[in-house]
Amino acid sequence: MDTIKKLRKYIIVTIIGILFTMLICWLKDFSFGMAEQRMYKILSDAAFFSAVILIGFGVMISISNFGLFTAVSYSMKRFFTVFSKDREEKRKNMPSYYEYRAIKLENNVSGAFMYIPGLLFLVVSIVFTMLFY
């Protein structure tokens, strides 16, 4: 069951990458009737864009596993309690930063489900670039 959930993540991210690729192809007026060199260039650009987006989000997930964004999220929660109606009650019940960080760092998520499809799109982009030249 756990492998099915992992596989589902990879499939969803790959579909999102394909949609990004199709969007870029559509924006650049891609068609199979155009010159071969132009077609390879557009496909290379589209696959590279998807690769950069997916790998970038994977890096963001990996960075968040180290707690880089934990201080920002904690400070935002503290800031918004100032404007709530029962702010004193919320401030009393809010954990300290140390407790909040420990809770957040327990739930680490691997960024591999973003890296692997991103690297796949990067390889596709390299192949189309080689065909272009």
Query: pLDDT tens-digit profile of 55-92?
Result: 999 988 888 888 778 888 888 888 888 777 777 777 77
Give the tokens for residue 94.
Answer: 């809010």
Residue bearing tokens 């670039």: 129
Q: Average pLDDT over the chain, rounded to whole?
A: 86
pTM of the model: 0.76
pLDDT of residue 1: 57
Q: What are phi and psi of 128, to 5 degrees?
A: -70, -30
- Burial annotation 95-106 (CB, 10 A radius, 16+ → b, else e): eeeeebbeebee
pLDDT of residue 125: 95
Residue bearing tokens 């891609």: 30
pLDDT band at 48 (very low <50, low <70, confident <90, very high): very high
Q: What is the mean pLDDT of residues 94-113?
A: 80
